Amino acid sequence: MLYWLIRSVGALPALLPLRMLYPLSTALSWFTGVLFGYRRMVVEQNLRNAFPQFSTAQLQSAVKQFYMHFTDTLVETYAMLAMRKDRLPRRIRVKNPELLSRYHAEGKSVIAVGGHFGNWEWLGTALPLLSPYPVLAAYRPLSNPSIDRLMREIRSIHGTCLLPDTQIYRAMRSSTEPVLTYLIADQSPLPENARWLPFLNQETPVFMGPEKMARACNAVVVFLAMRRIQRGYYEVEVLPVTENPLGEDDLVITKRHLELLENEIQSMPSAWLWSHKRWKHRKPE
C-alpha cells in the first residue's frame, strides 16, 4: 500500500509539463532548506570545508542554490514516472557521442564513472538511450522496501540493468558482448576498505572499485561530466580516464576520475550532493 501511495503521489504531478513543476520545486527548496533545515548543518559544514575562501554571504548563497538544485533533482526524478521514452534524450545531450561509439565498434567494454552531480538519476536511467551499449549499474538496496521498489522501477525504466555491488563485477566479466558499467564513485566507504586521497580540500576515503574492475576486465574508463544548461536540460561530456588500465600505475585511474569530479564541483558547487555525509569517517592513525 505504501508503494502505491508514494507512486500515485509522484505520478500525478509527473503528468504535468516539467516547466509547471519547477515553481513547486522552488517552494520545496524553501521548505527543505529553511523551514525544516534538512541536513542543513551537514550541508554548511561540507561547503565550508571544501571552500574555505567563501565569505559568509557566498556560503549562504551556495547553500540556497544547493537546495534549489536538490529539489529540482527530486522533481525531475519523479517526472520520469510519466515521461515518454523519447523525451529524456531530448533533455540530455551528449557532447561527444562518437567516443563511446568508437569504443563499442572496437569491442571494448567501458566503465563510466560519475558522481552525485547534475541529475545522476536521469543520467543512469538514460544511458541505454544515449549510448550504443547495454548498461549495467551498481545498485545498493534502500532500507525502506517501498521506496526501494519505486527507485528500482525509475532507474530501470529505459533498460538499465540494476545489480547489487557484489554482482556487477561478475556480470561484466561474464557478458558475451561489450557492456557499459555505470558507477557512482563518490560515496563514503568504510575506512578499512578505502584508500585516502585529497579531495575538496580534505583527506577523503575513496572506493577503488572502478580501478579494480577496469584492471580485471581490461575495460576503458571514462568520466561522465554532466553539466546543467538550464532547468530540465543537461549536457554530458565523455572524458577519457584511461584506454589501457593494465598499463597504469596503482591509484592513477582513481586519482584521475576523482580530479575530474572535483573540477566539475568547483565550477558549479550547487550541483553536487552536499547533504551526503561524505566525510563522516576519519583517517586511521
For 181-195, give the DSSP string.
EEEE--S---GGG-E
Q: How far apart are the first and last CA of the chain?
A: 48
Q: Among all chains, which residue has been given the C-alpha cell 569504443? A: 103
Write out pLDDT tens, residues 12-53: 666 778 888 999 999 999 999 999 999 999 999 999 999 999
**So what's the pLDDT on residue 84?**
78
Per DSSP, the three-state class of 42 is helix
| pLDDT-derived band at 10, boundaries 50, 70, 90 | low
d(CA 234, CA 226): 7
**So what's the pLDDT on residue 79?**
87
| pLDDT-derived band at 78, boundaries 50, 70, 90 | confident
**So what's the pLDDT on residue 151?**
87
Give the residue with greater pLDDT, 183 vs 153.
Answer: 183
Distances in whole angstroms, Cα of residue 246 to Cα of each of 43, 145, 205, 211 = 38, 40, 23, 10
Amino acid at 29: S
Q: If you average pLDDT over every residue of the chain, what do you get?
A: 92
For the segment 192-202, the average pLDDT, to the nearest whole number, is 90
**So what's the pLDDT on residue 141?**
83
Write out pLDDT tens, residues 223-243: 999 999 999 999 999 999 999
Give the DSSP H/E element, type plus range, for residue 161: strand 161-164
| pLDDT-derived band at 2, boundaries 50, 70, 90 | low
For the segment 139-166, the average pLDDT, to the nearest whole number, is 88
**So what's the pLDDT on residue 192?**
76
For the segment 122-129, the average pLDDT, to the nearest whole number, is 96
pLDDT at 96 over 90: yes
Which residues, 6 or more positions from 199, have their beta carbon under 8 angstroms from its beta carbon? 206, 258, 262
pLDDT at 1 over 90: no
**So what's the pLDDT on residue 186?**
93
Of the candidates 159, 139, 164, the residue with the CA atom closest to the CA atom of residue 151: 139
Give the residue with greater pLDDT, 240 vs 85.
Answer: 240
Which residues, 6 or more positions from 45, have their beta carbon under 8 angstroms from its beta carbon? none
pLDDT at 11 over 80: no
**So what's the pLDDT on residue 26?**
96
**So what's the pLDDT on residue 215?**
96
pLDDT at 86 over 90: no
- Of all residues in the chain, the percent with pLDDT exceeding 90 is 75
Q: What are phi and psi of 157, to 5 degrees?
A: -65, -25
Q: Among all chains, which residue has been given the C-alpha cell 523519447? A: 86
d(CA 262, CA 260): 5
Judged by average pLDDT, the poorest of 54-63, 82-91, 94-103 is 82-91
